[in-house]
A and B are shown apart, each in its own frame.
Chain A
Amino acid sequence: MAETGRLSAPAAPLASPVTLVRIAIVAAILVTWEAVAASGLLFRDVVPSLLVIGRATAGLLADKTYYWHLGVTAGEVGIGLLIGGLSGLAVGILLGSNRLLGRAFEAYLYYLGPTPKIIFFPVMIMWFGVGPGSKVAMGTISCFFPVALSAAAGMREINPVLIRVGRSFRASTWQMVTKIYLPAMRLPAINGVRLGLGVAIIGTLLAETKLSNRGIGFLIINAYSTFDMPRMYALLIVLFVLSIGVNAVVGRLGGVDSIRRA
């Protein structure tokens, strides 16, 4: 191990040392997993072998109802992101542009921001029912905070002379927002949306696992309660891959934008 480390330290042409270590980590986890599964130390059903999990994953991906549930969750997250993101952006711009409001309200945002939003779930069930409504609400309140805080910070970083230019050309409030504020704060705003998407997925899935009859969170908790461990692991793996994919897409939006218009 030490030898490979020393050999590949200066930029290796094919795979960087970081990539090699990453592959090694995954390989080590898989080997350990398989060893534990084969040893029989834990219940076989709790730690199924990789082969069984692989078969369950293939079965899941071939299952039509899985895609329906995926669609439900994606829809909930999407609507939550839309409502929470837009309202977060609006509130952030308002707080960032008005010093009094900003100082008065931002304390609450900072207190509520890190609070686990799941504590609001019972309230959301009472307000919006046990169906997708309460899941959308959870996604919405989850992503509202990071988006609002990033937008408020982004507003304050705008070069003040650009705002004076807009005023001198007598831009309306709407024109100021769409033509100066939003483009000037696009990087912090995209970053806020990225963080918001992550917590919207968490909030929605958490709500689905608590009380629901549809969605990926429901499938996971359903597999758990029927003790179908391979299927549960398969769901986790698929979810993991999907989250990475979505995050990469949103990250790319910010990256491309910043390169083209630096």
Chain B
Amino acid sequence: MSSVTRAAAAPRAQSAAPVLVVDGIVKRFETPDGVMTAVDHISFDVAPGEFLAVIGPSGCGKSTLFNIIGGLLDGYEGRVAVSGETLKGPHASIGMVFQEESTFPWRTVTDNVAFPLEIAGLPKAQRVERARHFIDLVGLSGFENRYPAELSGGMRQRVAIARTLASEPKILLMDEPFGALDEQTRLLLGDKVLQIQDQLKQTCLLITHNITEAVQLADRVLVMTYRPGTVKRMVPIELPRPRSSEIVSSDAFGRYVAQIWGDLREEASRGMRDDEAHRGGGAP
């Protein structure tokens, strides 16, 4: 019946056990104003090969969620499991790509990408060979011996993605990887990510505040509420694959963007009022 549209939504998700399970995550922080709940009972699954985007306004706990799933933050309630294994700290199956500039400035592109292989203790010849493969995959062939300072911001972020892919994670976990880049570069890098995901059948979890990016890339979009961060809605994006950035001009694309903005708008304005109240203090 609806199996056709379902297949389009999550082509590789059928009948497979989820590779990532996020179950009832609650994270509270001590602040000068008392205890602040950043994330409140967030639960979702990611199927093998699926691309899930998590979208929310600033201050919804997206980055908290990113750090918890990446194993860099503990002291939370609930459970994160990868292929059934409960997470205790960073896991080899989860590869993180950070929002900030994260390439090592003292390493060449090749040595940056080979970093996780070096950590794993691979011999040099194999490291270089595998690094080359992933450099090629992100379209940076010819720049192997350059230092990050010699590259553009978009190229550096591709180095960071190649470095994480080189560790061959089951899940590619990205926190606004293109946040610092201009819109055109962002769309083109989105194409690159789609192409790589298609080629590697890579399971991806993208944290973003950019609606276009979420709809362009994802099979499903999880919309979060403003503080405390909860799941507001899960939106399946039933756009055909393989996709490219050209899809942003289609009517279907526009409808998804409008629908998600409808959900997000309310949350974003709550966030803005909250922020203004904080800054305004006792002002009339």
Question: A261 near B: Cβ within 8 Å?
Answer: yes
- With A168-B70, A168-B72, A170-B90 known to touch, is A161 a contact of B119 (CB < 8 Å)? no
Specify which chain B residues have a CB less than 8 angstroms from the CB of A159 in the assembled complex.
100-101
Q: Which residue of A164, A175, A183 is within 8 Å of B119 (Cβ)?
A: A175
- With A165-B98, A168-B72 known to touch, is A261 a contact of B147 (CB < 8 Å)? yes
Q: In whole angstroms, what is the CA distance A169 to B119 when docked? A: 7
Q: Are A162 and B119 closer than 8 Å at their CB atoms?
A: no
Question: A22 near B: Cβ within 8 Å?
Answer: no
Specify which chain B residues have a CB less than 8 angstroms from the CB of A165 in the assembled complex.
96, 98, 102, 104, 115
Question: Nearest residue in A to B121 (C-beta to C-beta)?
Answer: A175
Question: B188 near A: Cβ within 8 Å?
Answer: no
Q: Are B90 and A184 closer than 8 Å at their CB atoms?
A: no
- With A169-B115, A170-B119 known to touch, is A184 a contact of B106 (CB < 8 Å)? yes
Specify which chain A residues have a CB less than 8 angstroms from the CB of B147 in the assembled complex.
261-262
Q: Which residue of A164, A184, A262 is within 8 Å of B72 (Cβ)?
A: A164
Q: Are B106 and A161 closer than 8 Å at their CB atoms?
A: no
Question: Nearest residue in A to B118 (C-beta to C-beta)?
Answer: A179
Specify which chain B residues have a CB less than 8 angstroms from the CB of A184 in the assembled complex.
104, 106
Interface residues in B66-109 (C-beta closer than 8 Å to A):
70-72, 89-90, 92, 94-96, 98, 100-102, 104-107
Tally of B interface residues using CB under 8 Å: 24
Question: A210 near B: Cβ within 8 Å?
Answer: no
Question: A167 near B: Cβ within 8 Å?
Answer: yes
Q: Which residue of B70, B71, B104, B149 is within 8 Å of A162 (Cβ)?
A: B104
Specify which chain A residues have a CB less than 8 angstroms from the CB of B208 in the assembled complex.
none
Q: In whole angstroms, what is the CA distance A171 to B70 when docked? A: 14
Q: Give the secondary structure class of A's interface.
A: helix
Question: A186 near B: Cβ within 8 Å?
Answer: yes
Specify which chain A residues have a CB less than 8 angstroms from the CB of B98 in the assembled complex.
161, 164-165
Q: Are B116 and A169 closer than 8 Å at their CB atoms?
A: yes
Question: B167 near A: Cβ within 8 Å?
Answer: yes
- With A165-B98, A179-B115, A179-B118 known to touch, is A261 a contact of B72 (CB < 8 Å)? no
Q: Are B116 and A167 closer than 8 Å at their CB atoms?
A: no
Q: Are A168 and B101 closer than 8 Å at their CB atoms?
A: no
Interface residues in A170-215 (C-beta closer than 8 Å to B):
170-171, 175, 179-180, 183-184, 186
Subset of 24 A-B contacts with CB under 8 Å: A162-B102, A164-B72, A164-B96, A164-B102, A165-B96, A165-B98, A165-B102, A165-B104, A167-B72, A167-B90, A168-B71, A168-B90, A168-B94, A168-B95, A168-B96, A169-B115, A170-B89, A170-B90, A170-B92, A171-B119, A179-B119, A186-B106, A261-B105, A261-B106
New A-B contacts (8) at CB < 8 Å, excluding given A164-B98, A169-B90, A169-B167: A162-B102, A165-B98, A168-B72, A169-B115, A170-B92, A180-B104, A183-B107, A261-B106
